[in-house]
């Protein structure tokens, strides 16, 4: 497969990811977002990776993204959704490369 084909695959994956998740950008926090983000002092008093690991080793990537999102935009939910969409795209792209 040549670079031109891979580029088109990359573009298609980006468009598909945006198409699937775009509607979430203006959705406020709900369900477990309150306990995982807004009511979780670990997110807004983050002290480092070991603290995240001790709290939730299986969800360290998620909680790390929550902590970094809070650092950048506090509780602006659009930033959380943009990072989530980016993570989904990167996982899809990694899976594409793996296959």
Per the structure, the complete domain to which residue 83 belongs is given by 3-98
| pLDDT by 10s per residue, the chain, length 99 | 788 888 899 999 999 999 999 888 888 888 888 888 888 888 888 888 888 888 888 888 888 888 889 899 888 888 889 888 888 899 999 998 898
CA torsion 22-24-25-31 (nearest 10°) is -160
| 87 Cβ contact list (under 8 Å, min separation 6) | 61, 65
Q: Measured between alpha carbons, how far is 79 from 50 in angstroms, rounded to an integer?
A: 24
Q: Measured between alpha carbons, how far is 93 from 98 in angstroms, rounded to an integer?
A: 9
Q: Measured between alpha carbons, how far is 63 from 48 in angstroms, rounded to an integer?
A: 11
| 72 Cβ contact list (under 8 Å, min separation 6) | 79
Quote the tokens at residue 31: 């369900």
Q: How many domains does the chain have?
A: 1
pTM for the full predicted model: 0.78
């Amino acid at each position: 497969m040549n670079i031109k084909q891979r580029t088109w695959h990359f573009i298609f994956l980006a468009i598909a990811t945006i198409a699937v998740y775009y509607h979430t950008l203006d959705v406020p926090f709900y369900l477990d977002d309150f306990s995982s983000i807004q009511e979780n002092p670990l997110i807004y008093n983050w002290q480092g990776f070991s603290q995240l690991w001790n709290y939730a080793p299986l969800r360290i990537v998620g909680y790390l993204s929550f902590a970094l999102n809070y650092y950048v935009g506090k509780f602006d939910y659009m930033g959380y959704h943009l990072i989530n969409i980016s993570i989904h795209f990167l996982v899809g792209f990694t899976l594409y490369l793996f296959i």
